[in-house]
């Protein structure tokens, strides 16, 4: 990577205190970076997500935001979206008179509302780019139990896949004790979900 200086901000999302909530790294001006460089930077931060802010494709929107975990790019995620809005509004990149913005993300346009008290940004709230959509039928109860290192009796009926742009497989279990025993078996998960909607996670 050619040497250059890049500004970045780290913040804690969904909290009012430092080192709480979800950590996020934001690069407010990521122009000139390619996908490989973005992935390397996200891996170096090693936060759950790092965002890269670019000019929007549609000038009516505020910015294009690309979201990377340490290992891959995501089409959408909640805490990086609201965290990036908070950082840009706090830095003044988003004008103080602006309260409604739109980020372009992999899933499509994502509206965000910014609340302020005087000069201080107090809250950022997103509206989903897609309404919740049910995904494919889940694996069998026995297979779900194996994926989670549980006994089949620990897994309840009703597992479902849902997405607002990023699919999640939700598996109900009998109680907190069963939840505490959950240990994902990566090999079984990899085989069972190889062609499933959540495979990119």
Domain boundaries, the chain: 9-126, 133-200
The confidence score (pLDDT) of residue 163 equals: 86
Indicate the pLDDT class of residue 149, thresholds 50, 70 and 90: very high
Q: Which residue has the higher pLDDT, 43 or 20?
A: 43
> Mean pLDDT, to the nearest integer, of 5-16?
93
Catalytic: which of 3, 49, 119, 160?
49
pLDDT tens track for 64-77:
999 999 999 999 99
* CATH number for domain 9-126, candidates 3.40.50.720, 3.10.310.10, 3.90.1150.10, 3.30.1280.10: 3.10.310.10
Tokens of 95: 């004008």
The confidence score (pLDDT) of residue 133 equals: 87
Residue (of 52, 28, 53) closest to 41 by Cα position = 52
Q: Please tell me if the domain spanning 9-126 has the same topology as the one spanning 133-200.
A: yes
CA–CA separation, 51 and 67 (whole Å): 5
Establish whether 104 is a catalytic residue.
Answer: no
pLDDT at 188 over 90: yes
Q: Which residue has the higher pLDDT, 58 or 127?
A: 58
Beta bridge partners of 162: 134, 168
pLDDT at 200 over 60: no
193 three-state secondary structure:
coil
Tokens of 99: 């309260």
Superfamily of domain 133-200: Diaminopimelate Epimerase; Chain A, domain 1 (3.10.310.10)
Percent of the chain with pLDDT over 90: 81
Mean pLDDT of the chain: 93
pLDDT at 24 over 80: yes
Indicate the pLDDT class of residue 145, thresholds 50, 70 and 90: very high
CA–CA separation, 109 and 147 (whole Å): 34
pLDDT tens track for 25-45:
999 999 999 999 999 999 999
Taking the model in full, what pTM does it have?
Answer: 0.81
Indicate the pLDDT class of residue 167, thresholds 50, 70 and 90: confident
- β-pairing, 160-163 vs 133-134, is antiparallel
Residue (of 81, 147, 72) closest to 111 by Cα position = 81
| Contact assessment for residue 94 and residue 85, using Cβ atoms and an 8 Å cutoff | yes
């Amino acid at each position: 990577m050619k040497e250059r200086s890049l500004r970045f901000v780290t913040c804690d999302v969904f909290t009012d205190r430092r080192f709480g909530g979800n950590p996020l790294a934001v690069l407010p001006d990521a122009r000139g970076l390619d996908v490989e460089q973005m992935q390397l930077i996200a891996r170096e931060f090693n936060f759950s997500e790092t965002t890269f802010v670019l000019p929007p494709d549609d000038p009516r929107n505020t910015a294009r935001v690309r979201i990377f975990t340490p290992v891959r790019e995501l089409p959408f995620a909640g805490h990086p979206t609201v965290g990036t809005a908070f950082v840009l509004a706090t830095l003044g990149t988003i004008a103080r008179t602006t309260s409604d913005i739109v980020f372009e993300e992999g899933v499509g346009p994502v509206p965000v509302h910014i609340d302020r008290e005087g000069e201080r940004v107090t809250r950022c709230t997103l509206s989903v780019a897609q309404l919740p959509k049910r995904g494919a039928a889940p694996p069998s109860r026995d297979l779900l139990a194996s994926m989670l290192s549980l006994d089949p009796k620990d897994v309840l009926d009703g597992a479902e896949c849902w997405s607002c742009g990023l699919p999640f497989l939700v598996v109900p279990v009998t109680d907190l004790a069963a939840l505490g025993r959950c240990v994902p078996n990566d090999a079984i998960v990899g085989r069972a979900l190889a062609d499933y909607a959540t495979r990119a996670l």
